[in-house]
Every structure is written in structure tokens, then in C-alpha cells.
Structure 1
Amino acid sequence: MNVTGLGEQNFTSDLIVWEGNFSRESNNIQTAYANLEKDREAVTQYLVSKGIPESQLVFNAVATNPQYQQNYSNDGRYMGQTFTGYQLNQSLVIESKEVEKVEKISREITELLNQGIAFYSQQPRYYYTDLESLKLEMIAKATEDARIRAERIAENSNASLGNLISANMGVFQITGQNSGEDYSWGGAFNTSSKNKTASITMKLVFEVD
């Protein structure tokens, strides 16, 4: 007898990862670096004032991008390009267990625009640090669910459930709660929702007497 059981568990993420970036442009690369450094200091001061420890602020290396203007003649012929200056970009990553605090700051970060800093914020990503324990709990639930299903089928067929021959685990899925998110053959792993649902299936094969 082949039966499949399902284990599900709702949980709330306990780790948030938030990224953002800011940039400066100038014809002079030294000027661009100096302005970007001022922005970095202002971003640091702002986030520390909001309660984020400076040790949690991870600034990545500055990316330098020369900027060019494409030139065309009046009749549409390409006339080459003209150097217009440099764009310097720096990104910031914050990883924290203070999910609500960082979540709130990510929504308020536009306050930096008032200081003349073009800070572009990405959507926070949410994780759960005890995922392995949760997975083991789901396996136990799915196995128990499958065993109960097998017992009911055997009962309805006037048969007796025999020994367990094999047990195979299905795909472990994490989706957003009440999101209507589709399951994936390779396993969905939602990072955009703070509140999530974990699920797993177990396929059991029993002897039937």
C-alpha cells in the first residue's frame, strides 16, 4: 500500500537581510569619491541613530563606472562617444535578528532624501535560523499523517496494516502565508514574506495483511 502524508507548520522569520545602495556622479573621480564618503558617513550616522549597531553595517567595495554619451549626426550616423564623468556606487547590507526594527527602518529610509542622499532600498529578505529543526518536525508530522491515512484505508478495506517497507521524503517547501504562492517541483523557498508556511510530504509503503 502506497500512501502520502503532509506535514505543515506556520512560522515567523527571525532573521532579516536588507540591502540598499547610494551613488554619486562627477567629472572628477576624486570629487565623486569624496562626496560618496560623505554620504557613507551620513548613512552610517542615520542608521546608528535608529538603533542599528555600527558593527552590523557591511559596506561593499565601491563600484566605479565611467559614463559616456553616444553621439550621432543629424542624419543618424554614429559619431563615437564622449566621456561625461564617473558614477560611483556603494551598497550596504544589514543582517539582523531585530526583524521589526530593521523592517521599520527600511520603510523610513527615504528620510535620507531630505539630506540629499539618493539611497535606493531593496525589499528586505526574511529567513529562519532554525530551519533544520523545523524540517525534522515537518518530517515527523508528514510521516504520522501518512501512517494514519494508511490505517484508515486498511480499516475500510477490512485488512490489517503490515510492516513499513519504505519511506521517501518529498520536496521541502517554504511559502508565504496566505499568499496563494505556487509550489515548485524543485522546492519553493520564499524570502519576501515575514510570515511563512513550511510543508513537506512523505511517501510510505506498507505491507497489507
Structure 2
Amino acid sequence: MAVLSLGGFIGASMVLVRGFRTVENTITVTGASTESFESDIAKWSVQVKTSGKTQIDSFSKHKESMKKTMDFLKANGIEDGIKQAVYLGPASIKEYETKHPKTNEIIRTEWITYQNIEIESRDVYNIQKTHSQITELLGKGVRVKPSRPEFTYSKLADKRVDMLAKAAKDARIRAEAIALEAGSEVGGLKRVNTGVFQITVPNSTKVSSWGSYDTTTIKKDITAVMGVTFAVKK
């Protein structure tokens, strides 16, 4: 098993052949090139929510909650800079009324202020760590609703051609081995059917006919599948 180190792409490479079939004077094999890699971009959002009896009361509390949240993020190394971007969305204030179920009389009015903090960072492990700790803000009276971070890989497109080439090359090797056992010889390429890419958590067995792209983990496996048909000489 070869070990690859290509920029931010580190992992083991292996090639599989899922099966083969022969039709007339051809042989078709399905090869899959699988590699492991680590994400290099994390996207994460945090919603801060406050409530008050009046619009002014709600917004005043919201400013304090936002300060505590931004201070927490900064203390954990998350602030606008070269390696990451922190964007504050506009604050939104809504009025909610609670009515009596029988008389329809308004018995309570509450103002809710929402604001989202959008984060994109190349320090993926720090985002993962901070996400696991952000509920500490609840103990400080801050109502936060963090999303699950999305981990992606910025150089994925550069790897696709290389992986398909490896799958095609291995498919020929496998076809030649199968043909040799049958007393035949593999000829020229007749047809190529490029399949979908499966990007999954490490060692996952899940596949999708439309392809998949799991963003829940930093470490991932990517599999490229290619069906190749060769001519067979008797």
C-alpha cells in the first residue's frame, strides 16, 4: 500500500476491482481508486438570540450577548484575518404576541432579536474544538444556537483527474490478469463509463448512485469509480 503526501492531501491509496463481465470479444472491469485526505476549510455559523419585553430592551440585551459571544470566539483564536473570515449578519427583531385561547386577548408581548455570525476558517481543528465548547456561553446567560461545522477540501477538483487515471490504469491491469487466466489477451480500449465520486467518513461502506459528499468530519475517504471495456483477443 503506497502512502501519498500531496500538499494538504495525506493518506493511503488503494485500487479495487469490483467485478467484471465479458460480452462477445470484450471484457468490462470496474475499478475504484480510493484515497484518504483531510479537509482544509471549515464553515460554521452561530446564531445569537435574545428576548425582551420591549424592542429597546431586547436589543440592549442583544448587544451584551453579542459582545460576550465575540469575546469568546476571539479568546479561542477566531477573528477576522488572513486565514479566516468572520462575518456578522444583520440583526433582526420580531414581535411575538401570546393570546388567551378563549378571549383572544393579548396577554404577553415579547420582542426577539436574532443575529448570525458566519465563520470560514482554514484552521479546521480549532473550529472543531471551539464548536464543542461554545455551549459554555449558556452559563453566561447567552442563548446561542451553533450549527454543525461543514468541513470541505479546496483542492478536490485537482485530484479527480489523477484518481480517474489511476482507476483506469488499474482496470487494465486487472483485465489483463483475468484475460490471461482465460487464455486471451486484452486489446484496445472500447468504452469508458466514469462513475460518481463518493466522499465519506473514513472506512464508510455507504454509497449513493448520485455520489455523496460528507461534510461532518475533517478526515474523509474519497472513491472514484470507472467502468472500462477492452477488446479481447483470443
- Greater relative contact order structure (CA < 8 Å, 6+ sep): 1
2:76 is the counterpart of 1:47: no
Worse-matched range after superposition: 133-142 or 97-106 = 133-142
Paired residue for 1:112? Answer: 137
Q: Deviations over 1:153-206 (max 9, x none)?
A: 2111111111112212101110001344x2111111100111110001111111
Alpha-carbon shift at residue 145 of structure 1 (Å): 2.2
**Structure-2 change in CA distance of 1:168 and 1:81 (3 Å):** farther
Q: Deviations over 1:60-81 (max 9, x none)?
A: 22233321224223xxxxx436
CA distance in 2, matches of 1:34, 1:142: 60
Worse-matched range after superposition: 7-16 or 140-149 = 140-149
1:183 to 203, 207, 224: 207
What SS does the corresponding residue of 2:90 show, helix, strand or coil? Answer: coil
Contact preservation (8 Å) 1:3, 1:146: yes
Please tell me the residue identity of whatever aligns with 2:70.
T
Q: 1 or 2, which has the higher helix percentage?
A: 1
Structure 2 runs not aligned, ≥5 long: 1-26
The number of equivalent residue pairs is: 203
2:222 is the counterpart of 1:193: no
CA distance in 2, matches of 1:205, 1:186: 22
TM-score (normalised: structure 1): 0.89
**Structure-2 change in CA distance of 1:102 and 1:45 (3 Å):** same
What SS does the corresponding residue of 2:212 show, helix, strand or coil? Answer: coil
Contact preservation (8 Å) 2:69, 2:137: yes
Structure 1 runs not aligned, ≥5 long: 74-78
| Aligned pairs (5 A) from 1:1-209 | 1-55=27-81, 56-73=85-102, 79-80=103-104, 82=106, 84-180=109-205, 182-209=206-233
Please tell me the residue identity of whatever aligns with 2:217.
S
Please tell me the residue identity of whatever aligns with 1:115.
K
Alpha-carbon shift at residue 135 of structure 1 (Å): 1.7
Q: Deviations over 1:63-107 (max 9, x none)?
A: 33321224223xxxxx43626121111111211111111211111
Give the CA RMSD over aligned residues.
Answer: 1.7
Contact preservation (8 Å) 1:8, 1:141: no
Paired residue for 2:19? Answer: none
What SS does the corresponding residue of 1:171 show, helix, strand or coil? Answer: strand
Worse-matched range after superposition: 30-39 or 146-155 = 30-39
CA distance in 2, matches of 1:80, 1:202: 65
